[in-house]
Structure 1
Amino acid sequence: MSTSSTNKNVHRVDVSKPARAPSAVRPERAEDASSRTLQRGLHLLDAVLDSGRDGRRVVDLCRATGLERATVHRLLATLIECGYVAAQGRFRYVAGPRLSVHVQRAAPSDLAARLQPVLARVSAACGDAAFAIVRDGAASHCIARHVGTHPVQVLVIQVGTRQPLGVGAAGLALLAALPNEEVAAAIAANAPDLARYGGMTADRMKILVRSTRERGWSVIGNHATRNVLAVGMAVLNRDGAPAAAISVASISERMPRERQQLIARAMREALAALLPDGL
Structure 2
Amino acid sequence: MPPSHASTADSKPAGPSGGVQSLERAFDLLERMADAGGEVGLSELSASSGLPLPTIHRLMRTLVVCGYVRQQPNRRYALGPRLIRLGESASRLLGTWARPYLSRLVEETGETANMALLDGDEIVYVAQVPSKHSMRMFTEVGRRVLPHSTGVGKALLAHTPADEVRALLARTGMPAATEKTITTPEGFLDALEQVRRAGYAVDDNEQEIGVRCLAVSVPNSPTSAAISISGPAGRVTEAATERIVPILQQVAGELSDALASNGTNGG
Question: What range describes the TM-score normalised by the shorter chain of this pair?
Answer: 0.5 to 0.7
> 1:179 & 1:104 partners in 2: Cα distance?
25
8 Å CA contact 1:236–1:278 kept in 2: the answer is no
Residues 67-146 of structure 1 correspond to what in structure 2 (within 5 A)?
105-146=88-129
Distance between the aligned counterparts of 1:274 and 1:137, measured in 2? 23
Change (3 A) 1:139 1:63: closer
Match of 1:265 among 243, 246, 252: 246
Map 1:227-238; keep pairs closer than 5 Å: 227-237=210-220
Give the letter aligned to residue 144 of structure 2. Answer: R
1:164 aligned to 2:153? Answer: no
Quick check: 1:219–1:229 contact (8 Å CA) kept in 2? yes
Secondary structure, counterpart of 1:134 in structure 2: strand
Show CA shifts across 1:20-39 (max 9, x none): xxxxxxxxxxxxxxxxxxxx
The correspondence for 2:50, drawn from 58, 64, 72, is: 64
Match of 1:205 among 188, 191, 197: 188
Structure 1 residues 177, 106: CA separation in 2 closer, same or farther (over 3 Å shift)?
Answer: farther
Runs of 4+ aligned structure 1 residues displaced above 4 Å come to: 100-104
Give the AA of the match of 2:124: H
Say yes or no: does 1:49 pair with 2:36.
no
Q: Matched residues, percent identical? A: 21
1:153 aligns with 2:136: yes
Equivalence for 1:175: 157
Report the counterpart of residue 187 of structure 1 in structure 2: 169
Normalised to the residue count of structure 1, the TM-score between the two structures is 0.60
Q: Which residue of 2 aligns with 1:256?
A: 237
- When the two chains are superposed, the root-mean-square deviation of aligned CA atoms in Å is 3.6
- Distance change >3 Å, CA 65–CA 179, structure 1 → 2: farther
Question: SS where residue 107 of structure 2 aligns?
Answer: helix
Q: Do the aligned partners of residues 108 and 101 (structure 1) sit closer, same or farther apart at CA in structure 2, a change above 3 Å counting?
A: same
In 2, distance between residues paired with 1:112 and 1:104? 12
- Give the Cα–Cα distance (whole angstroms) in 2 for the partners of residues 137 and 223 of structure 1: 21
* TM-score under structure 2 length normalisation: 0.63
Letter in 1 for 2:226: A
Amino acid of the structure 1 residue aligned with 2:103: A
| CA-CA distance at 1:275 after TM superposition | 3.6
1:233 CA displacement: 0.7
Structure index of larger Rg: 1
Return closer, same or farther for 1:133/1:101 CA change in 2, 3 Å cut-off: farther
Aligned: 1:243 with 2:197: no
Shift of 1:178: 3.2
Contact 1:131 1:146 in 2 (8 A): yes
Match of 1:74 in 2: none
Structure 2: gaps of 5 or more residues: 1-24, 36-43, 54-75, 261-267
What does residue 218 of structure 1 align with?
201
SS at structure 1 position matched to 2:194: helix
Unaligned stretches of 5+ residues in structure 1: 1-41, 53-57, 68-81, 85-99
- Return the alpha-carbon distance in structure 2 between the equivalents of residues 149 and 123 of structure 1: 8
Counterpart Cα distance in 2 of 1:269 and 1:277:
13
The alpha-carbon distance between structure 1 residues 101 and 200, as it changes in their structure 2 partners (threshold 3 A), is farther
